[in-house]
Structure 1
Amino acid sequence: MTTSTEQCACGGWTPISESRLLDLIKRAETSMEAPAKALWELVRLPNAEIWQQHPWADEGCGFWVLATFSRRCLYFNDVTQGFAVSPFRNWGNIDHFEPDPTPLDELIERLTASACESA
């Protein structure tokens, strides 16, 4: 697990840069409704981390994980160029590859709606 693409020596594609990722996050935050923004602030990690996801992220040394909750992680999928949620058993390892990309604000809105329904 790393917090920088500079440590990647895999030789494949390079994960999205941290600065580009932060730009995507800032744009998404501006369009989040108050409940979604509150959930986002609750689950997001202080700093994004690169986690492993075998075999899809091997070539690029991993995917950026932005948040964790209920043994799930929210990550940026460089292969599909979107955000996704996966279960995880071990910190630093994404268990499931999600092939359907979703914008971050839309994904957080869905999670917020789901949390409200189960409350």
Structure 2
Amino acid sequence: MAAISETEIHVELRNAEAALATLGERETRLWERVKITPTQWRHNQYPNVGPVWVVAVMGKRCLYYNAVEGGWGWGRFESWGIVADYHWQQDEIQHAIHFLLFAIDNGGMG
């Protein structure tokens, strides 16, 4: 399966940011600090799935759009541009940001 186009990821991200606008101040500040320009990254876990679009980075974690499931998920990376730990997540972006904030507050997501 091919990755979605750059135009499509920008549409998904615009829709996601509309949902993020309803979050609290801490979540909004966090999003502003971790988001990056959408960039395609490779992964080696599922050879039939093309690259994913990464839209945020925090430490050694990256937030990507899973086009197969239609949602957002955090993965681990060791080298910039390669998701080492890709999951079939399909969270709404605001849930992914809440997850990150919870992990920061509670020492998780190592």
Does 2:91 match 1:102?
Answer: yes
Q: 1:40 aligns with which of 31, 43, 46?
A: 31
Q: Scaled by the length of structure 1, what TM-score is found?
A: 0.75
Instruction: Decide whether the 8 Å contact of 2:41 with 2:53 is kept in 1.
Output: yes
Looking at structure 2, the residues matched to 61 and 52 of structure 1 have their Cα atoms a distance apart, in angstroms, of 7
Matching residue of 1:19 = 7
Give 1:23 shift. 2.0
Instruction: Decide whether the 8 Å contact of 2:39 with 2:55 is kept in 1.
Output: yes
Looking at structure 1, the residues matched to 19 and 89 of structure 2 have their Cα atoms a distance apart, in angstroms, of 21
Instruction: Decide whether the 8 Å contact of 2:66 with 2:89 is kept in 1.
Output: no
The CA deviation string for residues 12-71 of structure 1, in whole angstroms up to 9 with x for no partner, is: x321222222222222222221221211110111x2111111142x44541111111111
Uncovered stretches (5+) of structure 1, i.e. residues with no partner: 1-12
Q: Scaled by the length of structure 2, what TM-score is found?
A: 0.81
Uncovered stretches (5+) of structure 2, i.e. residues with no partner: none
Q: How do residues 64-103 of structure 1 correspond to structure 2 at under 5 angstroms?
A: 64-103=53-92
Tell me the number of residue pairs that the alignment of Structure 1 and Structure 2 aligns.
104
Runs of 4+ in 1 over 3 A off after TM superposition: 58-61
